[in-house]
Structure 1
Amino acid sequence: MRTTSSLVKLGIFAAVTLFATSVLALTIANVQVGAKATYRAVFTDATGVLAGQDVRIAGVRVGEVTEVRVGDDRSTAVVEFTVLKSSVLTQGTEATLKYRNLVGQRYLALSQGSGSATALADGATIPLPRTHPALDLTVLFNGFKPLFAALSPQDVNELSGLIVQTLQGEGGDINTLLERTASLTAAIADRDAVIGRTVDNLTAVLGTVEAHDDQLLAFIDQLQRFTGGLAEDREAIGRTLSGINALSAETADLLVTTRPLVKEDVAQLRTLAATLNKPANVREFEAFIKDVPGRLETLTRTATYGSWFNFYLCQFDVKSPILPGVSPSYAVAAERCS
C-alpha cells in the first residue's frame, strides 16, 4: 500500500511538473495554441519580411508570417500569414509592414479600416489599395548622423526607437520626440564646452613647445643619433644578448650545483657564530684584528721582491733530546733584527 501511494504521488508530481514546464516553454517560444486561418496581403515592397515574423493587432501577437513571394504581376509582393480564428479579420482590415527594431526586422500590423465589417473568409487576400507602403528610414536617420556621432550607444538606441515608434504611431507624440532630442542636444552642447576648454589647453601646450623649439629639435637630433648608433651596432648587441643568455644559463647551473654546499655552509655559520661569541674567543679575535694591519704591512714589504719571500735568520734555539738540559741558541745583533 505504501509503495502504491508513493507511486501515485510521484505520478501526480511528474504530471504537474510536465504541465508547468510545457506552459513555460510555450510562453518563452511565444507559441500560440488554437485554430488558425490563413490570409494573404499584397504589398508594393516587402523588403526585410521573412517567414516566422510576427503578425500583430494593436501590438498583440496573433499570428506569424508563413511565406513571402512575388505576385503574379511581377511588380508586387504577396505575404501569406496565419492568424488565430479568435481574432476575426473583416473586409475593412488594413495591413501595414512596420519596423520592429533598428536592425531591420519587420512585422505585419493589422488594423480595422473604414471598410465593411463583414468577416474575411479563410484564404482571402487583403488587396493592395488597403495597404500602406513600407516606411524608409534611411534618409531620416542620415539626417541624424551628426547627433548620433556625439551620443552614447544607449542614447542612440533610445532616440532611434522613439523616432520609429512616433512615426509608426506606437509611441508618444511629436512633442515627446522633440523634447528628447532637445535634451540630447543640450548634453552635446555641454560637451562642446569641455571640448573648447581642451582645445584652449592644447593651444597653451603647443605654445610652450614652440617656445622650446631649439631644445626639442636638439633632443630629436640626439635621439636620432642614438637610435642610429643602436642600428649600426645591432649585430654586436645581438651577440651580447646571446652571451647574456648563455651566462644566465651557466649561472643557473652553477646555483643548482652549489646550492647543497651553500646550504651546508650556512648551517655551519651558526656554529661558527656561537663559537666566536664566547668571551675568550671574542678577546682573541679582537687582538687578532688589532694586529692584522701591522702584520699585513710586514708581509707586504717582504713580498715586494717578487713572487717569493726573503727571510733573514736573526735567532734560533736548539733543543736536543740526546743532551737533556743543553739548549744552545744563536742571536744576530744586526740592525734589521732589532
Structure 2
Amino acid sequence: MTSKTTAPLVKLVIFAVVTLLLTGMLAQTLGAFPSAGVTYRARFTDVTGLLVGDDVRIAGVRVGRVKQISVVDDTIAEVAFTVTDDVPLATSVRAKIRYRNLVGQRYVALTEGPGDGRPLRENGLIPLAQTTPALDLTVLFNGFRPLFTALNPDDVNKLAYQIVQVLQGEGGTVASLLSNVASLTNTLANRDAVIGRVVTNLNSVLTTLATRDRNLDQTIGQLQKFVSGLAVDRKAIGESLVSIGELTTATAGLLGEVRPPLAADVRALDELAGTLDRNAAVIDATLGRLPGRYDALTRVASSGSWFNFYLCDFNGHVAVAGHAPIDTPTFSAPAARCSTGGSR
C-alpha cells in the first residue's frame, strides 16, 4: 500500500468513526437505545396515550424512559420505567402522567412527596395512592367549547395549552389563566353589536314567517305531496330518464346522418332565393295575371274535376306546294255555350 492510498484511507476511517459516535450520541439523546438505569414500577387507573419509550422526567428534566406497560387486572395498569443510577428514588415518590403537547404525547413526571425518605429498592412499586393519571382532555375541552367556537385556531391552541399547564401544575397560575380568559371574553363582548344585529334580523325573519304561517304550511304540505308523488313514480321516472338518454343518442345519430344532405339543401335554398330575387319583376307580373286565368279555368272546370273543351268555330288555310293556298270551309256552332267565349 503506497502513501498515496494510505492517507485517504486513514481519513475515511476517521470520518466513519466520528460519524458513528455522533450518530450514537444522537440516538441516545432521542431515546432510540435504552439507557442504563434502575427499573421501577408504578400503577395507574388510566394510562391511555402513554407509550413505551416516552420520557420519565423530574422537574422537567429527562431522567429515564417508559420500559413496559401491562395490565395487572381489569382496572389497573402497571408501568415499568427506568431512571438513571445517579437519581435515587424514595418510597414517598409520586408519579403523574402529564401531557407534553396538545397532540396527545405524554410523559411520566416524578415528584418527591411527604414521607420518611427511605430509598425505593430496584423494581420497587409506586402504589395507586401515590399516582395520578392524565387529565381527560375531552371532558375538559367540552366545557370550553362555547368559548372555543368564537375564537380563531391560534387563540384556541394557546388557551388550551395554558389550561393544560395550569391544571397539571406546570407554570403559570390560575390568575393568569383567568386573565387570558377575560381578555378573550372582552373580545367577544366587543362583537356584541354585530351579534345584536344578527339577533334583530333573525327576529324580523321569524316574525315574517309567523305572519305567513298558513302559506308556509300549505307550501310545505304541497312540497310533501310533490316529493311523495315523485317517490311513488320513481321507477317510471327512472325508466323515462333511460328512455330520454336513448332518445338523445338516437337524435344525435340522426342529425349526424342528415347533416350533409341538410347542408346541401341549405345551399340550394340560398341559390333559389337568389334566383327568385333576380326574377322578381317576372314573378310579380305572373302573379298579377293569375286571377283572370283562374277565373277562366274555374268556368271551364265547373262541371267536375275535368276540363270541357268544345269546337265552336273553325277556319283555316291549307298550303299546297306549287299552288295557291286553299281556304277550308268555315264552321260556326250555334250552341249557347259557344256564345260565352270562355271555352274557345
**CA 83–300 in structure 1, closer or farther in 2 if over 3 Å, else same:** farther
Q: CA deviation at 1:294?
A: 5.0
Q: CA deviation at 1:181?
A: 1.4
State the structure with more CA Rg: 2
Q: CA RMSD in A?
A: 5.8
Q: CA deviation at 1:169?
A: 3.4
What's the counterpart of residue 39 of structure 2? 39
Gaps of 5+ in 1: 315-321, 327-331
What's the counterpart of residue 59 of structure 1? 60
Amino acid at match of 2:181: T
Residues matched between the structures, number: 306
**CA 126–212 in structure 1, closer or farther in 2 if over 3 Å, else same:** closer
The 5 A counterparts of 1:146-161 are 146-148=146-148, 151=151, 155-161=155-161
TM-score, normalised relative to structure 1: 0.59
Q: CA deviation at 1:149?
A: 5.7
**CA 284–236 in structure 1, closer or farther in 2 if over 3 Å, else same:** same
Amino acid at match of 1:97: K
User: Mean alpha-carbon deviation: is it higher for 222-231 or for 166-175?
Assistant: 222-231
Q: CA deviation at 1:203?
A: 2.0
Is residue 287 of structure 1 aligned with residue 281 of structure 2? Answer: yes
User: Mean alpha-carbon deviation: is it higher for 245-254 or for 282-291?
Assistant: 282-291
What's the counterpart of residue 134 of structure 1? 133
3-state DSSP of counterpart to 2:132: coil
Amino acid at match of 1:65: V
Q: CA deviation at 1:156?
A: 4.2
User: Mean alpha-carbon deviation: is it higher for 23-32 or for 202-211?
Assistant: 23-32
The 5 A counterparts of 1:1-338 are 12=12, 19=19, 23=23, 30-31=30-31, 35-43=35-43, 45=45, 47-48=47-48, 49-69=50-70, 78-84=78-84, 88-91=86-89, 94-100=93-99, 101=101, 105-111=105-111, 123=122, 125=124, 131-134=130-133, 136-137=135-136, 143-144=143-144, 146-148=146-148, 151=151, 155-190=155-190, 194-213=194-213, 215-216=215-216, 244-262=244-262, 284-287=278-281, 290=284
Q: CA deviation at 1:157?
A: 4.0
Distance, in Å, in 1 between the alignment partners of 2:233 and 2:207 is 38
Task: Report if aligned partners of 1:97, 1:106 keep a CA contact under 8 Å in 2.
Answer: no
Deviations along 1:139-167, whole A, 9 cap, x unmatched? 75565455456556654443232112123
Q: CA deviation at 1:276?
A: 8.0
Deviations along 1:218-256, whole A, 9 cap, x unmatched? 656666776788788888867765654443233122123
Task: Report if aligned partners of 2:43, 2:128 keep a CA contact under 8 Å in 1.
Answer: no
**CA 259–71 in structure 1, closer or farther in 2 if over 3 Å, else same:** closer
Gaps of 5+ in 2: 311-319, 326-337
3-state DSSP of counterpart to 2:88: coil
Distance, in Å, in 2 between the alignment partners of 1:286 and 1:81 is 111
Distance, in Å, in 1 between the alignment partners of 2:44 and 2:147 is 32
Amino acid at match of 2:81: F
Distance, in Å, in 1 between the alignment partners of 2:238 and 2:70 is 70
Distance, in Å, in 2 between the alignment partners of 1:226 and 1:12 is 84
Q: CA deviation at 1:177?
A: 1.1
Q: CA deviation at 1:56?
A: 2.5
Task: Report if aligned partners of 2:46, 2:134 keep a CA contact under 8 Å in 1.
Answer: no
Seq. identity, %:
36
Distance, in Å, in 1 between the alignment partners of 2:293 and 2:243 is 41
**CA 99–229 in structure 1, closer or farther in 2 if over 3 Å, else same:** closer
Amino acid at match of 1:287: A
Distance, in Å, in 2 between the alignment partners of 1:240 and 1:77 is 65
TM-score, normalised relative to structure 2: 0.58
Task: Report if aligned partners of 1:91, 1:115 keep a CA contact under 8 Å in 2.
Answer: no
